[in-house]
Amino acid sequence: MTSQPNASDEPTARADEQRDETPADAGETGPADGPDAADGEPEIVDGRTIEHLLTDHERDIASTAEGTDATAAKRPSLDLPRLELGRRDFMKAGAAVGAMSGLAGCTSILADEDDDSGGAAGSGEHSVAPGEHDEYYGFLSGGHTGEIRVVGLPSMRELMRIPVFQTESARGYGHDAKSSRMLEEEGDGHVWGDTHHPRVSQTDNDYDGRWLFVNDKANGRMARVDLEYFETDAITNVPNCQGVHGACMQLPDTQLVFGVGEFRVPMPNDGRDVQSPDEYGSVITAIDPETMDVEWQVEVDGNMDNGDGGKEGRWFFATGYNSEEGTTEGEMARSDRDYVKAFDIPAIWDAVESGQYEEISGVPVVDGTKDSPLNEGDRPIVRYVATPKSPHGVSVTPNGKYAIASGKLDPSCTVIDIEAIAEVDDPQDAIVGQPRIGMGPLHTAYDGRGHAYTTTFIDSEVVKWDYEAAVEAEAGSEEPVVDRHDVHYNPGHLIAAESYTASPQGDYLVSLNKLSKDRFLPVGPIHPENDQLFHIGDDDAGMQLVKDKPSYPEPHDASIVHKDKIDPAKTWDPDDYELEYVAEGEESFERVDDSTVEIEMWARRNEYAFPEVTLREGDEVRLKISNIETTSDVIHSIAIPEYDINLALAPQDTREVTFTADQPGVFWAYCAYFCSALHLEMRSRILVEPSA
């Protein structure tokens, strides 16, 4: 560690202890081997060097690429050091001198990894012909759009959007009474969210196709999507928590849904302790998947981000950063070690049931901080496993044996033996492997054949490695790595088909790359992301890049589910909806009093039950409407101009809206779903007679 003076101006006791506790310096073996490592002064940022975070591979790119300043190559920074040198430009430069001629379809910059991509994209092997169906559903979060996106694999076609935390007019989400109420009341009235982690419910460690859960990082909420109707059906505003980051489940049977709190804030965050960061806390939240009620929370040290559940239901893992509990970026990244927290779910239930909690904002909050009495003795509720350095992603291997955390600011992944956690005195002794993966490892997925696939944000690669080999190998060894493939560029999450189950499919993998740079036609200063599809089904052939898919900012994570495990409804079953269906002949217009009107009507091809509705200015109107079609895909809507209403009505669906008829005039309610040759003529004339 000669090139890495400890950075912290004010090292905490905790950080010092932690350094003493850590295993061999797994992450530091690389730089000494690097040929250029001694060429320049290591750059010190906020008191820490980052020279050791650069791979030889990355140095080679930097030093050989056209137009790169040699000094710059020696003085890398964590901050996307050479992105101005597009890899595409580099590829073109290579092509210009003949080195890569004929490889128009190839996208990797390493010639020996390249032959796959052009061929794969051009062949029919991973394409889906017109009229044919995809093999998988991909459920991607939409990031700060607030939505979920449904993508078909391997075509990578976006099949549907599901609005979750934002209002959305095509589906009338936030227009009809039920979704408006959900966003307003349960959703705390926010008009956007930041979805990160969509996870599909499981039974017996396999997808059951019932629900999808997703977090809101912006406003501390969790939502549930009904996968029969592909519609958000519940939102929970999580108290004592700002920024629910991770979203994941207790397995094998989705007994609980966990929201992993990120930002440390006063609890409750009502103005108290504003200037006392020591009093801030962060919590994980256990939510009942059926009721979506908060069952309990556990307060921990430091910030958390991602999580995953063990396959046997006892342990839940969350990564974290800022064990320093700093409030600035410089303070947050000082320590060499942060923690993977292993939550002992039965022990937490015992604590809750025996009253060992503080009720805050109506929720039992159990103290799981390091110094908590509940973490003393032989059954601590939270075990803190120190790993290098701000571990970001954590995921459990399909066989349930290991939890693997990615180092983020350290080039290693850490393999934790789950069974050992309960057995060892020192949680560090549960660490059984720590291979060197590459620069900026963030997330890990599985193929079910013993391979882990880890994204490296700075190296812009997916790295395939053998996790049993990593247990056998020395810490810091690259030997477990069996394949690498460039991605374009800077990946966050990646996901393999059914990677979160006990039986991953092992054929496809998607890398959710944060930057696309020049991979697509330019569309202005806001670029799309690039979700790249790889075929990983042939270990001999290695990873094959199949498709680039541009994505509207900003997908974070995904779940990939085989088509046979999802069984969506094709029309609504009126019995499944809270509102009573309005059949033909049951339409009614009732003036309840001088200023209240109740309308019940239906829609079908070309007409609404009432071709004309007369209201008085100021009327409070409750309008309920059913689509009485029985044919799937014959969707109608009722759009009311100037009144900001558009209710989407799938066949047999019933929706309701309330509004005040505060604008006098003529308003032609119309169907916004093109439904027949006389679609344009499908209208109801709403006459609002002036009060004067």
Window 57 to 86, contacts with a copy of itself (CB under 8 A): 78-80, 83-84
Q: Which of 115, 134, 350, 539 binds a copy of itself (CB under 8 A)?
A: 134
Please report how close the Cβ of residue 379 comes to a copy of itself at its closest, in angstroms: 32
Question: CB neighbours (10 Å) of residue 410?
Answer: 29
Comparing CB distances to a copy of itself, the nearer of 333 and 421 is 333
The contact mask relative to a copy of itself for 387-406 (x = CB under 8 A, - = no) is: ---x-x--------------
- Judged by CB under 8 A, the stretch of 105-113, 377-385, 419-427, 500-508 that binds a copy of itself is 105-113
Q: Which of 59, 383, 401, 514 binds a copy of itself (CB under 8 A)?
A: 514
Q: How far apart are CA 234 and CA 288, in angstroms?
A: 12
Question: CB neighbours (10 Å) of residue 215?
Answer: 36
- Judged by CB under 8 A, the stretch of 36-44, 460-468, 510-518, 593-601 that binds a copy of itself is 510-518
Does residue 575 sit in helix, strand or coil?
Answer: helix
Is residue 47 a contact residue for a copy of itself (CB under 8 A)?
no
Is residue 572 a contact residue for a copy of itself (CB under 8 A)?
yes
Interaction residues for a copy of itself, span 193-232 (CB under 8 A): 193-194, 218-220, 228-231
As given in the structure block, the two tokens for residue 8 are: 């912290």
As given in the structure block, the two tokens for residue 604 are: 């079908």
Interaction residues for a copy of itself, span 281-320 (CB under 8 A): 303, 305
Comparing CB distances to a copy of itself, the nearer of 349 and 552 is 552
Is residue 562 a contact residue for a copy of itself (CB under 8 A)?
no
**How remote is the C-alpha of 241 from its chain's centroid?**
18
At which residue do the structure tokens 């064990």 appear? Answer: 323
Q: Residue 633: which H helix or E strand, with range? A: none
Comparing CB distances to a copy of itself, the nearer of 265 and 415 is 265
Is residue 564 a contact residue for a copy of itself (CB under 8 A)?
no
Comparing CB distances to a copy of itself, the nearer of 333 and 462 is 333
Beta bridge partners of 615: 688
Please report how close the Cβ of residue 378 comes to a copy of itself at its closest, in angstroms: 34
Please report how close the Cβ of residue 608 comes to a copy of itself at its closest, in angstroms: 9
Comparing CB distances to a copy of itself, the nearer of 109 and 502 is 109
**381-394: b (≥16 Cβ within 10 Å) or e:** bbbbbbbbbbbbbb
Interaction residues for a copy of itself, span 593-612 (CB under 8 A): 605-607, 611-612
Q: Residue 620: which H helix or E strand, with range? A: strand 620-627
Q: Which of 271, 362, 373, 377 binds a copy of itself (CB under 8 A)?
A: 271
Q: Which of 41, 122, 358, 538 binds a copy of itself (CB under 8 A)?
A: 122
**How remote is the C-alpha of 106 from its chain's centroid?**
29
What DSSP string runs through 318-342? EEEE-TT--SSHHHHT--SEEEEEE
Q: What is the dihedral of CA 241, 242, 248, 253, to 10 degrees?
A: 30
Question: CB neighbours (10 Å) of residue 607?
Answer: 16
Comparing CB distances to a copy of itself, the nearer of 153 and 348 is 153
Comparing CB distances to a copy of itself, the nearer of 356 and 676 is 676
Question: CB neighbours (10 Å) of residue 462?
Answer: 28
Q: Mention every residue, 6+ apart, whose C-beta is less than 8 A from residue 113.
A: 484, 485, 486, 542
Backbone angles phi, psi at 11, to 5 degrees: -60, 135
As given in the structure block, the two tokens for residue 408 are: 């983020």
Question: In degrees, to the nearest 5, what angle opens at C-alpha 457 toward C-alphas 453 and 458?
Answer: 125
At which residue do the structure tokens 């094959």 appear? Answer: 544
- Judged by CB under 8 A, the stretch of 35-43, 206-214, 394-402, 643-651 that binds a copy of itself is 643-651
Please report how close the Cβ of residue 386 comes to a copy of itself at its closest, in angstroms: 19
Please report how close the Cβ of residue 148 comes to a copy of itself at its closest, in angstroms: 11
Interaction residues for a copy of itself, span 354-393 (CB under 8 A): 390, 392
Comparing CB distances to a copy of itself, the nearer of 264 and 383 is 264
Q: Could you tell me how many residues of this chain bind a copy of itself (CB under 8 A)? A: 167
At which residue do the structure tokens 């180092």 appear? Answer: 407
Comparing CB distances to a copy of itself, the nearer of 288 and 567 is 567
Backbone angles phi, psi at 181, to 5 degrees: -65, -40
Is residue 90 a contact residue for a copy of itself (CB under 8 A)?
no
For residue 380, give the nearest of 356, 413, 406 by alpha carbon. 356
Is residue 190 a contact residue for a copy of itself (CB under 8 A)?
yes
Q: Residue 94: which H helix or E strand, with range? A: helix 87-96
Q: Residue 613: which H helix or E strand, with range? A: strand 612-616
- Judged by CB under 8 A, the stretch of 393-401, 414-422, 477-485, 566-574 that binds a copy of itself is 566-574
Q: Which of 44, 95, 160, 469 binds a copy of itself (CB under 8 A)?
A: 160
Interaction residues for a copy of itself, span 521-550 (CB under 8 A): 521-528, 532, 545-550
Is residue 133 a contact residue for a copy of itself (CB under 8 A)?
yes
Interaction residues for a copy of itself, span 402-461 (CB under 8 A): 408-409, 440, 457-458
Interaction residues for a copy of itself, span 313-352 (CB under 8 A): 321-322, 327-329, 332-333
Does residue 352 sit in helix, strand or coil?
Answer: helix
Contact predicate 544/481, CB 8 Å: no
Contact predicate 427/381, CB 8 Å: no
Interaction residues for a copy of itself, span 478-507 (CB under 8 A): 488, 490, 492
Query: What sign does the CA torsion over 541, 415, 532, 200 have?
Result: positive
Q: Which of 430, 603, 657, 682 binds a copy of itself (CB under 8 A)?
A: 682
Comparing CB distances to a copy of itself, the nearer of 21 and 89 is 89
Comparing CB distances to a copy of itself, the nearer of 294 and 332 is 332
Please report how close the Cβ of residue 446 comes to a copy of itself at its closest, in angstroms: 23
Comparing CB distances to a copy of itself, the nearer of 427 and 542 is 542
Backbone angles phi, psi at 507, to 5 degrees: -110, -40
Comparing CB distances to a copy of itself, the nearer of 204 and 642 is 642
Comparing CB distances to a copy of itself, the nearer of 428 and 684 is 684
Q: How far apart are CA 570 and CA 374, in angstroms?
A: 50
For residue 346, give the nearest of 398, 373, 382, 386 by alpha carbon. 382
Interaction residues for a copy of itself, span 614-633 (CB under 8 A): 617, 631-633
Is residue 642 a contact residue for a copy of itself (CB under 8 A)?
yes
Identify the DSSP state of 229.
T
Percentages of the chain per state (helix, strand, coil), in multiples of 5 = 15, 35, 45
Q: Which of 27, 152, 239, 380 binds a copy of itself (CB under 8 A)?
A: 152
